[in-house]
Structure 1
Amino acid sequence: MKFLNIKFFLLFIMPYMAFSQIEISGKVQDKKEVLPFANVVLTNPDGSIVAGVVTDEQGNFVLSAKEGIYTLIVNYIGYNEWTKQINLESKQVFNDIVLEQKANTLKEVEVVSRKKVIERKIDRIVFNVENNISASGGDALDALKVAPGIRIQNNEIVMIGKSEMKVLIDGKIMELTGEELSNFLATISADDIKTIEIITNPPAKYVAAGNSGLINIVFKKGRRNSWSNAINYSHVQADYGYSSLGNNFNYNKNKVKFLFNINGRYGDYQEIEHLEVFYPDGLWKTKLKRVEEQRNLSGRIEFDYDLSKRTTVGFQYMRTGQRPDMRDGSVTKIYNNNQTVDSLLVTNGLTDVKVYNNSLNLHFATEMDTIGRKLTIDLDYFDFNSSQDRDFKTNSYTSSYDFLNLITSANNKIGQEISNYSARIDMEHPINGFNLSYGGRISFSDNNNNPEYYNTITGSPVLNEQLTDIFEYKENTGALYISGSKDITAKWKTQLGFRYENTSTKGVSKSLDQTTKNSYWKIFPTFYLSYAMNDNNDFSLNYGKRINRPNYAFLNPFRFYVNSNIYSVGNPFLQPSFTDNIELSHTYKKNLTTNLFLSITTDGFGPLFLVNEQTNEQIITRENFFNLYNYGLTETYSFNEIPWLESQNTLSLSYSKSDFYNKNVIAQEQNGAAFYFSTFNTFLLNKSKTLKGQLNYWYSSPSKSMLFKNSEAFSVDLIMRYSMMKDNLQIAAGVYDIFNTGPAKLTSYINNIEQTYQMYDTNRYFRMSLSYKFGNKKIKGGARDSGNEEERKRAGI
């Protein structure tokens, strides 16, 4: 009832806040079709500008002003200017503003301009991937690594100075985390990505998940009146190598928009991990080498059909199949108190892995009138299925590799099936210069896990029933939201929103005969205020509240063994955590942005690396155990004053303070400051602008946060790209992390035992890519924003 009262208050009271503004709306077209991105300007009799907008993809515009006499002007390249004097006393609608082509206009005009690599909007940063050559031939992870303010740490995507972010694909959240999310993003070609939107405080329309906000990966779409086809090939070579091949076909004519995309990868990928545990009776030092096969195939189909000028229906289908089979070997050196090697534990394993997922979106959108009212409906389904069958064996040896005895021989199987159904309805409803939107979403998720553990030390598998289980988890979420934005004056803009989410969960462990239920609701407010002081200075203030729900694997209470003395176990009693984000920003001349931020997380949860001194077992578990405060300053500067150089630079100073309130967690809180700097520089190397180079560098200082001390790390990349045949054929080559200094070492102190960890994946490598595109620009084509927004990431798809 509280939420309904808020909703009705906003619906009926907030529009009257704009009583002094009168709305002007309309549609711009020529004799054949609508004209998107036309300039619409309202001026005073003296010629000074009162307001201005550009038309949307359907040619619609809405602006507002006080009562008075004005001139409405519409401009579009290749057309005669349209003007009309108006006496604004009440709302005015211009349904059909028809522009006439200039008599001397060429039959076909192609306007070529260079978009900025980074664009800033009131609620997000837009990173134009297609203008950054370092991601050429790579995958979505490679593109994220060079996105402003984003880092990949231990398979998590984090905002520098803050914490984890959720990932959306064309507006749909991927319910995956950690390694599963990384594997999925590796199936997406960076050459298919148009932009990456970094939304640190998402509006109320978006799901409330994600501590530090959302990252929306937007695919390229077909150009209007055209068809095109792009073929991409790349090869990555490190100690091991893999190749990727993809094809992207777009068709966009009249009422039909169609896209077909397919990508495949084949080869091997290596990871090396170093782990040290300082037990009271001596050091255990482990080196693990893992080689993962790259056998990935993914595809996407999109189809939209215009039922009328105002109504569109369509669907999007995505499928990913992966066979990341793994072979691994580890050696653990066991030291005595004299710091000499006493004995060795050698583990070898083989893991057969199968992963696939399907995603289907059905959508309907209609413009209800010419003043901007628009209804959108999305129906979504996705499933995720994975199976792992791992055989591993651990032997004990003397320090000189003489065999002592067999410690463990086992088979560990785990299957996971996740399905999600969701429906979403959104309404855009301008009222008297006030842009109102509201809607709702329902989501139903089922997750089933069935871990099995077999002892094979005798040569025949024997089921260990204490380590075998069927874990079923159901989660239902309902949400309502309302949001409104208003241009208070020509300089002041504001946006306010509220999102209500109600969640109920049920987890059942069959072997433990244990049922865990949970139900909770929360209201998530968002607020934005911006002030354009003059042409050179813009200020903004925003606030948002977020939720972070445990992913499904964290809730499974059964053990999964990495080797004989390391296992992972979930916690069905985990509760969601909540984060409040506040940001104050200033932008100077559209190039230099200063951002002050404060992020407060309560009831945070995460992995704990515990040690059993009696058994020398290392246990990875999950608990709600901390409150976290992150605050700091970020400076970003874009330099493009020299014709042959474009430079994007970021500097961040932050401080992290944590409070471990869970008395079961005996660990030292790691509080301290951090410094980060990055510079990405693109050079034109010839007069014809066909040869470009890019030099990238980033540095991360030693830092402390939560459980860990982080060592310093830095990376240097050098990439070259050559374009031929009017940019239709492009060849790129580069060396990444030239000095192999990117991975940081993590140190923690839990239960008074020091542990260090460092992972080297395929960090230093050479990549070569080839891209060829062709098509017809003369024939007749937006990104979908639909449901399933939170469920995918938590599932690990």
Structure 2
Amino acid sequence: MKAVFKYIVVIILLLGVNSATAQDNKIEIVGMLVDNQSNQTIPYATVALYKNNSKEIITGTTSNDEGKFTINTSASNFYIQISFIGFKTKRITNFTVKNNKIDLGTIVLSEDNETLEEVVITGEVSKTVFKLDKRVFNIGKDISSTGVSALEVLNNVPSVNVNIEGEISLRGSSGVQILINGKPSVLADESSNALGTLTADMIESIEIITNPSAKYEASGTAGILNIILKKEEKKGWNGSISANTGTPDNHSVGISLNRRTEKFNLFTQIGVGYRSLPRDNEAVNRNLIDNEVIYSNGTAYRDETFYNITLGTDYHINDFNVLTLSGNFAYEVEDQPSKTNFSFYDSNNALISNWLREEVTDATNPKYQYELNYKKQFKNNKDHSLQLSALGRFFGKDQASQFKNTTIAGSNVNGNQQTDTEFQQSDYTFKADYTNPLSKTYSIEAGAQYLINDVGNDYEVRDFTDGVYVVNQDLTNNFEYNQKVLGVYFTVAYELDKWGVKAGIRLENTDLNTLLTNTNEANSQNFTNYFPSFHTSYKINDNVSFQAGYSKRIFRPRLWDLNPFFNISNNFNVRQGNPNLQPEFTDSYELTSIYKIGKASFSSSLYHKYTTEVVERVSTFADNVTTTTPENIGTNASVGFETNGKYNVNKWLVLTGDFNFNFFDRVGAFQEQSFNFSGNQWSSRLGSKIGLPADIDLELTGNYQSGFKTFQGDVTGYAFLDLGVRKKILKGKAVVNLGIRDMFESRISETFVSQPTFQTYSFSQRGRFVTLGLSYGFGKGEAMTYSGGRRR
């Protein structure tokens, strides 16, 4: 604690230093700080000038996000002292002044093991750091980031929302691209449901890129979320073991191990668990021509046993070359029972039939990925680098379903059916990225990416007719999907201490082919597009800065948007893909300000997006059956305002908030019906972290998502509250945590569709989730929690 006190005193003294020093004969002192073990830069370290033979401070500063610092002084008799919690304080007395400048170059700080053992780290709250073309959300040890999957961590990131369906939106817009360490990954692929295999303890930060530069793949009209995984740098054996239990069923055991040597970093994670995700559903189909109504309500379960293992190694060939080979294998066994009660009423509101539809679905899902990555850093500058990577991944599903209808009252309903699904997806990504800081102010980036997606979905439906199951040829087919995307890019940046600009261009060619093999229906698309980007920033002072940016984006239809097969779990409310769907294109403009007021820090943004060929979910109605299909319909122009901030009230209370308002103007038509309309939607989030006695932390997070108008109806708003409690034991080596998601069971999905000939209503709710976890870290590892859930 003495070390902590010393650093606090230094900071207080720095804040109190009189800035009105003499302007004549100023000396500029520059340098950069790095960790002696990891060679990583050290941000936010204290750099101070002291009078020789005295402890009187002259002036000081802190290193920036890149570990660099600059001090101006007119003093001539001083020494330089550099300090940071966890590192040995370094005093510099020998230096040379040349042309009124002292260039200290790269300064290496050594870890202070003794200080590390006695210091209590209190900066555990997640925080956002701003870069030229992105925001970086560093994951702290907040309760909401303990014992949860990556999907739930994303829901705590400013500007991001994850709805009850697991769909991710950024500033209210879907079409978000998820990357892992800057690259596509099976862990981030929506169709593989694998994002949940990442746990909060594995994540270092999340980059929020609302206006991506040309360096990034152009897909994702809402922007990019790049999940950066931790790199274990502690030598020796490190690891942790954890166990969770909860209701509804949420039980898992996991172990993480790491072995670090001078040349190798070996890592593995093994987990096994079982969980159940119940979901209550209601639906109403109202035929306005015949005045007939069908009501349905029931509960569906997704019970899952999962196994997961990750193995990998980093081989440090030398100080400038690193080779990484890693692989992951997961196997899931699913059981999806459901019961839905249906009631059919005629125009006089008389009951015609009432029946129970039961589903029994079994599935096995093998999935694996492997990655080879090579990174070379050049001797002249650590930021001068070349990175080559190759990623392969596979996801399979072998599923069988049995649907049984039992008549309860009224006329007999015979709708027994069976389905079989054999799904296989193989993806390959090859990337090359080159970065060269030509000078202290100029830098360039160049690279290429080749992406291959190859999918087959063999789907068969059988109807129970005259005592036997007969193949329904209208719903049975084999769907083949093949997409190849080749992209090349170049960017150039000019960045000073206060001002910077970055411009780039990306060229992408897309070759997409789909085929229904049984009917020989083929669809081919081949198109080439340019995607320019421009970003600039200006720092007025340490408390106020501005950013502005433009980029052009594309949203390519996903596999399940194109796959034309029905989901018949509820055969009166079915979803179907559209193989003729075209991509969306978006021009995105943004102006952001970042400012600090006392203990509070804020970020506010104005943004505008113009999207063509907008993909909308459109409902059609026939024979009392609602079919929802994606269609390209018109344009969408939106203007939005977003602000988020953090306020450190005192040492035991931190408040965070996020507010986003979006006004949109839609122009479009479907089936000769005009759908021109305007509307708005907004969301807000307020969180608090409270430090209680006995080393207990409490976190409360409240969320609200407003309702909004859709192409054919409305979506209802909702609010929900999450709570978390954490207790450290055994000097922090072990952690007990309790999490309650959706405490008041108020998080819902409710949609109304109102058209001249029909009206539909749908409602779903997952309910409250309670999880209790215990984790223990050994070696130099930290206590963490394994949660191997899948993305929904």
What TM-score do the two structures reach when normalised by structure 1? 0.84
Structure 1 residues 723-742: Cα deviation after superposition (integer angstroms, max 9, x where no partner): 11121111111332222111
Residues 274-313 of structure 1: matches in 2 within 5 Å?
A: 274-280=282-288, 281-313=291-323
Unpaired runs of 5+ residues, structure 2, are 1-29, 50-57, 783-790
- Alpha-carbon displacement from aligned partner over 1:555-585 (angstroms, at most 9, x marks no partner): 2234442344343332221111112222211
Question: What is the Cα deviation at residue 197 of structure 1?
Answer: 2.5
Match of 1:331 among 320, 328, 341: 341
Deviation at 1:124, TM superposition (A): 2.9
* 1:624-643 aligned within 5 A: 624-643=632-651
Residue 409 of structure 1 corresponds to 416
The aligned runs of 1:69-80 (5 Å cut-off) are 75=82, 77-78=87-88, 79-80=90-91
Change (3 A) 1:499 1:227: farther
Task: Tell me the residue number matched to 1:695.
Answer: 700
- Displacement after TM superposition at 1:404 (Å): 3.0
Distance 1:777 1:234 in 2: 19
> Partner residue of 2:770?
766
Residue-by-residue CA offset, 1:322-371 (whole Å, 9 max, x unaligned): 22221111112223334454322431111112222211110111112223
Contact 1:529/1:540 (<8 A) preserved: yes
What is residue 240 of structure 2 aligned with on the other side? 230
Counterparts of 1:712 and 1:119, CA distance in 2: 27
Deviations 1:429-457 (A, max 9, x none): 11132121111111222111111122233
Question: What is the rounded CA distance, in whole Å, between the counterparts of 2:109 and 2:126 in structure 1?
Answer: 34
2:489 counterpart residue number = 481
Are 2:762 and 1:757 equivalent residues in the alignment?
yes
**Distance in 1 separating the partners of 2:455 and 2:243:** 36
Residue 81, structure 1, aligned to residue 92, structure 2: yes
- 1:452 maps to which of 457, 460, 463: 460
- 1:604 maps to 614
Q: Percent identity?
A: 22
Alpha-carbon distance between aligned partners in 2 of 1:751 and 1:178, rounded to the nearest angstrom: 38
Structure 2: how far apart are the matches of 1:115 and 1:178?
30
SS at match of 1:570: coil
1:681 equivalent in structure 2: 688
Matched, 1:537 2:544: yes
Paired position in structure 2 for 1:17: none
- Structural mapping, 1:333-372, within 5 Å: 333-371=343-381, 372=383
Matches within 5 A, 1:96-495: 109=116, 112=121, 114=123, 116-122=125-131, 123-153=133-163, 154-174=165-185, 180=191, 183-237=193-247, 240-280=248-288, 281-371=291-381, 372-395=383-406, 397=407, 401-402=408-409, 404-432=411-439, 433-488=441-496, 490-495=497-502
Per-residue CA distance 1:359-391 (angstroms, 9 max, x = gap): 111011111222332111101111111122111
Q: Secondary structure at the match of 1:505?
A: strand
Would you say the 8 A contact 1:649–1:677 is kept in 2?
yes
Written as runs of structure 1 = structure 2, the 5 A alignment for 1:723-742 is: 723-742=728-747
Distance change >3 Å, CA 101–CA 444, structure 1 → 2: closer
Tell me the distance in 2 between the aligned counterparts of 1:487 and 1:173.
28
Distance 1:752 1:627, change over 3 A: farther
Cα separation, 2, equivalents of 1:337 and 1:136: 54
2:586 to 579, 582, 594: 579
2:18 maps to what in 1? none
Q: Give the partner amino acid of 2:754.
A: Y
Asked if the contact 2:722–2:742 (Cα under 8 Å) also holds between the matched residues in 1, the reply is: yes
- For 2:513, the equivalent position in structure 1 comes to 506
Residue from 553, 556, 573 that aligns with 1:549: 556
The one-letter code of the counterpart of 1:647 is L
Alignment-mate amino acid for residue 775 of structure 1: G
* One-letter identity of the residue aligned with 1:652: N
In structure 1, distance between residues paired with 2:152 and 2:63: 38
Aligned counterparts of 2:505 and 2:71: Cα–Cα separation in 1: 25
Q: Deviations over 1:82-130 (max 9, x none)?
A: 764465799x9999x576979xx77664564515512131233333334
User: Which residue number corresponds to residue 533 of structure 2?
Assistant: 526
TM-score by length of 2: 0.84
Q: Distance in 2 between matches of 1:73 and 1:436?
A: 34
Compare 80-89 and 362-371 and name the one that shifted more.
80-89
Aligned amino acid, residue 274 of structure 1: E
Give deviations 1:463-502, integer Å, cap 9, x for gaps: 23343222222111111111222224x2112222222111
The CA distance in 2 between the partners of 1:328 and 1:228, in whole Å, is 43
1:587: how far off?
1.7
Letter in 2 for 1:117: S
Aligned residue type for 1:539: F
Q: Distance in 2 between matches of 1:162 and 1:101?
A: 45
Cα contact 2:239–2:780 (8 A) shared by 1: no
Residues 610 and 751, structure 1, Cα contact 8 Å, conserved in 2: no
Please give the secondary structure, in 1, of the residue aligned with 2:194.
helix
Whole-angstrom distance in 1 between the partners of 2:66 and 2:659 = 36
Q: Is the 8 A contact 1:629 1:658 kept in 2?
A: yes
Contact 1:51 1:64 in 2 (8 A): no
- Residue of structure 1 equivalent to 2:658: 650
1:680 positional shift: 0.9
Counterpart contact for 2:34–2:109, Cα < 8 Å: no
**Higher mean C-alpha deviation, range 766-775 or range 702-711:** 702-711
Write the distance in 2 (CA, Å) between the matches of 1:376 and 1:89: 39
Question: Cα offset for 1:53?
Answer: 5.3
2:250 is matched by which residue type in structure 1? Y
Residue 620 (1) aligns with residue 631 (2): no
Is contact 2:79-2:92 (8 Å) kept?
A: no
Q: Secondary structure at the match of 1:392?
A: strand
The 1-side partners of 2:447 and 2:209 are apart by 20
The answer as to whether partners of 1:156 and 1:177 remain within 8 angstroms in 2 is no
CA contact (8 A) 2:423 2:458 kept: yes
1:206 Cα deviation after fit? 1.8
Task: Give the 3 Å change call, closer, same or farther, for CA 429–529 of structure 1 in structure 2.
Answer: same
Distance 1:486 1:52, change over 3 A: farther
C-alpha separation in 1, matches of 2:244 and 2:641: 38
Distance in 1 separating the partners of 2:593 and 2:433: 32
Q: Could you say what secondary structure the match of 1:467 adopts? A: coil
TM-aligned CA distance change 1:174 to 1:623, over 3 Å? farther
CA distance in structure 2 between the partners assigned to 1:101 and 1:229 by the alignment:
23
How far, CA to CA, are the matches of 2:338 and 2:446 in structure 1?
51
3-state DSSP of counterpart to 1:373: strand
* Aligned-partner Cα distance in 1 for 2:704–2:82: 46
1: distance between equivalents of 2:189 and 2:286? 27
Q: CA deviation at 1:320?
A: 2.3
CA distance in 1 between counterparts of 2:293 and 2:722 reads: 36
Which shifted more, 433-442 or 651-660?
A: 651-660
Deviation, 1:691, is: 0.6
Task: Specify whether residues 460 and 339 from structure 1 end up closer, same or farther in structure 2 by C-alpha distance, changes over 3 A only.
Answer: closer
How many equivalent pairs are there?
A: 730
Sort the Cα spacing of 1:54 and 1:659 in 2 relative to 1 into closer, same or farther, 3 A. Answer: closer
Equivalent position amino acid for 1:715 in 2: F
Alignment-derived partner of residue 786 in structure 2: none
Q: Does 1:561 align with 2:578?
A: no
Does the aligned pair in 1 maintain the 2:125–2:139 contact within 8 Å? no
Whether the 8 Å contact between 2:33 and 2:42 is mirrored in structure 1 is no
Instruction: Report which structure shows greater RCO (CA 8 Å, sep ≥6).
Output: 1
